[in-house]
Structure 1
């Protein structure tokens, strides 16, 4: 049995400003994605100008932050009576210091950013999505490490030797599900996608593979991850979480993209 190290979520105090590890993990993820995107831009089959990478990063950062916060507010932020807090307290969306970000909301925000960027630059939106998909897992990895530092999003009780006792999770050892997600959504997805995208692929193929890999990884981890207390399980006592529900359309869309990529006429 392991014990969570109970790390102080505040990395450093700068006067009245508290710099949190979670925010630093986001910054590290954006920097890592930018650095890897510059490397991908130099690959012969990509032919992306370096300045376009920096411009795209700005749009992606805005999409992640705005979409992630809005998504959490609409998908997860319910009160004890199961009512959406936003409906009677719209200002909750701006209280980011209270925490709460949603991957699926962030993904929607990034997709919107892709469309705006594609419209402004007069390029196909899938050219952008296929280029960016292999570097996104770096941000997913650092984000899950931020969850681990905060001691949040732990899993169900377990008797496995790597079960971990979390400060706010009770006395029983639990699945360190945020580390499972860091390994699957971060390291494994990065390795597969970066290898897959290192050679020319049909348009939509890289994006489709990203959606399929993420949705499968998320659903797998959700089977041992404790759902948000304000939501619980959507069906039954231990079946179907909000994360599973939001990931299902991703799997369908990703599969369709892969089929279209390899079957449509050029």
Structure 2
């Protein structure tokens, strides 16, 4: 089926312009001379851009410890969530091969109980035969530049939820705290020794603008288990109106106080 270009679109209008140019060439020369056709096409193609302009933003989604072990038989790379786990795995390998270094200068016949010491002694004696490297690195992904999500749009919410990032601590000496980030909102959850409690802290200073209401607040519901402990979605209910003698007393106190002359005129 023939494709009909739409003149209302930039691409469709350009195609129609090209057809007019080639028709004009045909009328002038009775054919499409190669040099003339190439010149027309060259000018026409310059109107287009074929570059990919997706605004991709690198986003750090976590960190991993990279352990590389090599010897004359191979080169292996594994990923670990923390340094201690990677070191424990490395020490397990070292102890299984301890007979290869036992009794050498400065090396005891039995591997030390401390993982770091065992690893250093083993590889210090095998530096020309095998070795390792252990370092931490960011885990990143490229995503389209985030747009402000709309809370009433299920697709927007799903996209924002799928882009949520967890920022873990690098280790016990890290001054930061474990945090989840979503739509600019930071939620910290951690053990607080000073308060002797599990502490959850929500920071809204960097919330995506689309989520902020006209009064500067962010619609939020906080639940612990099945109990809602915070909800600012609906306004607080109006205070109940008094009934019985309380209502009568309030009505009396709201009546204007009349002077003696006014009371006389009213028959008081």
TM-score range, shorter chain: under 0.3
Whichever of the two has the greater Rg, that structure is 2
- Higher fraction of strand: 2
TM-score (norm 2): 0.21
- Bigger relative contact order, structure 1 or 2, given CA contacts below 8 A and separation 6+? 1
